[in-house]
Structure 1
């Protein structure tokens, strides 16, 4: 994946505006909010394939994207919050009175007789970075009990724990281990994740977004029904035939339900974890190729052969299992693996 264009935009923005005006401490630890927002914006646009000359719909909110995978996100770090969590280590060093030269200097110049950093009011003539650090205290005070950092058992500062605390209470995504399994191909994981969020741009969803759609019916079958995500991945005749063939090959019937409901069903089975991941991988590949067939039909006016899709999914699954066949988890599912690879 070529990210150089994105990196160049971010780098030039930082160099042009701030390089000559920040101290070493400022350059290392504190980045102005305007730059951080711009970086987040560029990353958001890059993720969804938007460019200056071409706008695209953000399928999922950025705050959701920045959640951990176990909470339904994809674990991209939001620059603004991550920067605050990183800067928080400086505050921790001051609160803990670490034996560091700059902390001694701060205590000698700014705090002096004040024992509590939380009650300290920075003087008007203090440095910019000291004012900035103090302005962030209100977001960090709950991380401490007195002067002790309480988010880790040892009291040692953790940027990751501070960042997760800033994200707040998040719902659990119990099927994250299956959706983000190493067996599934990365591009297929993303489509499955979007489908679990019900965020694929089906014709029905485009209509709800007030985007004109001339023909709202499913283009893959002759049922003459509105193209919804539920129809595409559960009721459509196109996917049904392939699902039945794959179920026979797998030796396990793949549930005829929506994307997320089927993965929930797999999660509840009393199977070994690796077997659950294999079944989810086959289901995820079917979701991916169904969505691809739909897009090719609409935008390229090409019909995708169902037999080709079946063979392609089987080939990909065999290749992925071959890469992981020596792992301990795979050895516990040798009967199923041999069935699929023969």
Structure 2
């Protein structure tokens, strides 16, 4: 059974039910029930019209739930002629479902969870495991999100930037639990890119591909982190890099630069270097200048300080770091690295240890602790 095909039909199927009169929450629940039925029956009896089958079964599930609930909720629902199996509605609401799940009234966490549920087709249990939270907690979060957007009409304009931000958050969630959220974000970005011609959609897809291509080299067999400069570049996925660069070049050709294109350009320069020493840090600084101009992001300024330290020397990097707030995530780790490059090992060791204490995950904490221990061991006593 083609599970990728099945999951790609989810948002369009939800859209059909909503246009027939179901609210978003009820439509999403019905499609999820139809998915369970599909997983059970399709391997032995694949339908000739997958979308039509999914829509028909979901509509029946919705009607059954509505009929059972009518007396309590006192709600009229159109239950006339049940649509026959077929290819479904001519209107494809996939893009509108993306926009709905990234509605500005939702918090970032709720928007991500709802996108994973309604667009990606993941179960509540899978999403909870990916976030490392109890299933009941995630169920409540998704339920609240669905209630929030249930009154929003599909024909209301959506914000592409918000959708991209949600997909970027999905990608950055990492690889916890039994769901590879990075791979899932790439799948969704491909789907979105096929439905809307937008240079920043392409830029985000390129960025994801270029980062994902380096994934096999990022950790050792024991799970410890490998810094970019020390990675075995023969492990990088060259075909994924080539695809990412091609997508990026086509996006840049529109001459409407955005933040995801700028980030992808930086990632492409890293991917293009056969060794760490061959990295074109001068160009990377220039791209960070563009990114800072576009976003004003303190995180972009922090990363720029690292690039300046590589291009112009560690003292120049420390000077670029100085105006930034020490409370920024990774500020202390960056300061430690630049001080080490400048030869101030006692300060670097102290800062690495300080950064380890505030690290957001175990792998990063372990890496920073090892860096501090390495410098303390190297220092003369």
TM-score category of the 2 structures, normalised to the smaller one: under 0.3
Question: Which structure ranks higher in relative contact order (CA pairs < 8 Å, sequence separation ≥ 6)?
Answer: 1
- When Rg is computed on C-alpha atoms for both structures, the one with the higher figure is 1
Q: TM-score, normalised by structure 2?
A: 0.25
Q: TM-score, normalised by structure 1?
A: 0.27
